[in-house]
Structure 1
Amino acid sequence: MSIITVIPMNRSLTVLWKHSVDQTEPCLVCTDTRKTLVELLEELRPVFQEEGIQFRFLDEKVPPEKGIRVNTVLLNGIPLSSLLSAAAEGEEYCHASRCMPIRNLYLSTPGPDGILCGEAPEILYRKAILLALEDQIIDDLGDNR
């Protein structure tokens, strides 16, 4: 007899991109496939529809303040960086001395225009999206917002 655990899921995904006025899309790229986050979300749109998940992409321009530029993405109100960190924890499952876990799965580096850009494997972005859809994640990551 097998036991199946059903994780309650949200039926909506809201992606909020807060950015400086001169940016055209989030500076987030999949390291392995070179897809941008926007391309990945567009690829997943039919899956969201099929699963009955409402998808919204909101764009919020932030006026420049003291020369600080912004490039922040929130999934259902949770910073994408927090979701990627949580998703990456599961990637380092082997703790034996012979195992060499992958380090720096999610990198945040300055882009050519000075904006902080993120890079991670596509599977990590996909896991982050799934985490954002879990009801419990809001409680678990709520302090990191």
Structure 2
Amino acid sequence: MLQEFKEFALKGNMVDLAIGVIIGGAFGGLVQSVVKDVIMPIIGLITGGIDFSNMFIQLSGAPQPTLDAAREAGATIAYGNFLTLLINFLIIAWVLFLVVKMMNRLKRQEEAAPAPKLPKDQVLLAEIRDLLAKQQQK
């Protein structure tokens, strides 16, 4: 049983999947940083200094100046956080779309590439094979 588990765990697909998950996690952190530290401040500057991370609707409790205080006071809808996560999702989806598009283009180029020409001796051997096959059929 231990040997079977070892074979399963060390299969190429399993290792590839693990590497993909690790790279995906790192990529997600990178995209979060780009959105939070680069894109959202630019959007905030364009929209007049709006801080998306602090945008909320407080449903209960006394009005509070910050999202954290509003959450402590009661039910709060943090739609600024939702907008940030939506932008994260759109960036990740766009990058993945571009990667898949590039992979499909490479695949089509490989399929469209002409088969390499056989050397003359192999062509001659194939002709001899075909002639012998015809003679055997008669």
Please classify the TM superposition score into its range, dividing by the shorter chain length: under 0.3
TM-score (norm 1): 0.24
Q: Which has the higher helix share?
A: 2
Please identify the structure whose Cα radius of gyration is greater.
Answer: 2
Structure with the larger strand share: 1
Q: What is the TM-score when the length of structure 2 is the normalising length?
A: 0.25
